Structure 1
Amino acid sequence: MKLEQRLNELVIKAAQDFDSAASEERKVFTDDEGSLHNDFLDQILEQQKEQRQALWKELYDLEEQCHNAQMNKVLGPRMTQLQQKLLSTKFETQELEKEIIYQQTNVDELPFPPNDIVTEIQFRNRLANTNLQLRSLASFLIEELATKKQKLFAKRTTVSETKTIHTALTNRLNEIKEEGPVTIPAKIRQELNSVRQRYLRTMDFLIDFMDEHYPPHAVDGKDLRTMEHDDVCELKFILEDLMNRSVIDPSNPYIHLQPGTYWTPYIETLIKAGIAQRHPLEPDRLALVDFRLYTD
């Protein structure tokens, strides 16, 4: 209000000075005679004076209206509530931008609390992780212990059965020692000799049959005219290997057919005749078909 009053006083003083200067009677003399000029110029000055008074009155009215409307003639019109909120928001935005710049500049300088809260939290996290790992390890060890107990029980059962068999055999051996040497009756000896002779005759007949009907042949990829001794495939030797394997290891009676050591038609003949069979998963392995007869 002091600034506004001061402006009004300056405007009023300037108007009064102008009025006093304009109200002075001006006398215009001619250059040649020293007489007064005609009245036409005085009328023009009077009209300009009236126009100035009217303009100054209009200025006073505008000043009064501005004052009544509480308008600031230096800073402009009073801001509305929305403009005030906008200005406040701009100010807060500037302050936030300054804070962001400050935080980005000092991002590596994190202020830690005076106490060891962060260290305690990290220690608790490590302790929780260790606890989980120990629980998982305990579960694994319990499962392993149960498995070992089952295996131990099975081994103890096997040892017990083995001891029982060993005891029975030891008792039988002692009985045999007390009874003296066992003599094979003559009738049984004759039967064994007869079986041995039949076996030998059967093998000789089988060899002659194989030599006559399945003579030696060149292995796959070899020519009869240029083959060497190692390039010969004999079916009787394949049958011999199959029979020996079935007697030596009945649980795994398969032989391995190495490429370049056999003739494929001979192998297929044994399979189609039902004498041999391939391994279900490894076709290069061959075994003799189980020839034993089972009776109820």
Structure 2
Amino acid sequence: MSLFERALANVVSQATGDYASIAQNDPVVISGEDGTTRGDYLDLLQEAQRKERKKLWDQVYRLEEEQKQRVFSSNNDENPMNKVETDASRKKLATLMYQYSDLEREVAAERGRFGEECENRPEDTILEIEFREQLDQQIQQYNQAIDFLKEDLRNVKETLKLEKKALSECTELYTALKAKEKEIIEENNLAREVNPDQLRESQAILENMFKNDQDDLIDFLDEYYPPHPVDESTGILDAESDLKNILEDLMNKALGTPEDPYIELVPGTYWTPYIQTLVKANILKFHPEDSKMVRLEDFR
């Protein structure tokens, strides 16, 4: 038996000797994910790996038993067929050992990764605190939304109250206008029924009243606002400004051409205090762009 065969025999014997304790007693890792869906899935992966390791250990054990019977316990039988079978068994044994070594590395890597995830996974207390914070934030947002809706509801109620008040005022105004319209219609109907002779008499009365008022106005102006010398001399001796003439010109302009009721204040034809008196009494109004143009106020 060569040195390699002895070493291989010792490795196989030691491996089969530890078979009972290694193949049947897997290390147990306590994790925070026990009982969860992910933990159950990892348990299934470990169970599949355990079965695969057990299968490999069983094959190693069988090969060791075969080697004992065919190679190491046959007094170095030189039968060529036995030698061929021994070489094939050695190759198969080496392949199984490499497979076992790769499987062990994969198991170690999976355990390391699983251990890191367990270490990095936050505790249930931290998760509960984060959940409570999120819940408090949502409750605070809902309370703010409720306050905003309440304020909006108050504004809507105030607006509705004002709208109802405006509607009531419009209704009253509409009722008053309808009554006024009815009154005007009735007056017009009565006016159509009036005798023409009565209309002429009324017109004569109005004209007489107008003439009397005009005479009273002229007498008032002659007494309190007599003619006064003009501001500037134009070469004409005794040139005077008569207030009633100014008012007459303004009234004729307002009645004759209401679209252009302005008259021009020609220098040397008026006395300034009279013009200022009419302006202060809200009878006269200057042109907005020309201070030499004046007109009567609109008394409508």
Q: TM-score range by the shorter chain?
A: 0.3 to 0.5
Q: Which of the pair is proportionally richer in helix?
A: 2
TM-score, normalized by length of structure 1? 0.33
| Larger Rg over CA atoms | 1
- The one of the two structures with greater contact order (alpha-carbon pairs below 8 A, sep at least 6) is 2
